[in-house]
Structure 1
């Protein structure tokens, strides 16, 4: 199983600081290749809603609110767990994907 964020690159390109990098990254092409490879090898690709994946503490579930992109590390004010923003988001994406896989709104991507 591979869980990914169901990102809308058009929305991401509204950030003028990142727009060129996002356009050059060929994210759509990467996703198509990932879909193809998952189908080829009989694996599941689950796309999850990207909302709040970097805001929510992956340990206790507390929503710490919006943070600017410059904030790469933060400490949960509820459980005091220190998080790397990207790793925390990855854990939350995996949790969301597992929930969907267990029959609570499976959102499997197929080509």
Structure 2
């Protein structure tokens, strides 16, 4: 498979957690588009928060899939080394 990898992420509750510290964030009363993290003090637009959290989830999932593929390759190589008859030349 060539090209750009695509990872699907469920967007539910992605604007509820601070992308900086991971704690729950609150809406400003005057402006519902702005969110404020009471722990780290970061203030951002809710769409920016959601996009950062979606990107983080996708990156984490992509890295996890990549690690699984690497582990499978290592296991395959180990099995081939244990059984020289299975090695492909």
TM over 0.5: yes
Superposition TM-score, scaled by structure 2 size: 0.61
Max radius of gyration: which structure? 2
Instruction: Give 1:52 shift.
Output: 1.4
4+ runs deviating over 3 angstroms: none
1:31-42 alignment, distance < 5 Å: 42=3
The alpha-carbon deviation at position 65 of structure 1 amounts to 6.2
Which residue of structure 1 lines up, in the alignment, with residue 59 of structure 2?
A: 98
Q: Which runs of 5+ in 1 are unaligned?
A: 1-38, 105-111
Q: 2:32 aligns with which of 71, 80, 93?
A: 71
* 2:84 equivalent in structure 1: none
Q: Give ranges in structure 2 of 5+ residues lacking alignment.
A: 66-89
CA RMSD, 1 decimal: 2.4
Whole-Å Cα distance in 2 between the matches of residues 79 and 66 of structure 1? Answer: 15
Q: 2:8 aligns with which of 47, 50, 75?
A: 47
Q: Which has the higher contact order (CA 8 A, sep 6+)?
A: 1
Rate the CA distance shift 1:73–1:65 in 2: closer, same or farther, 3 A: closer
CA distance in 2, matches of 1:76, 1:103: 28
More helix by share: 2
Q: How many corresponding residue pairs?
A: 63
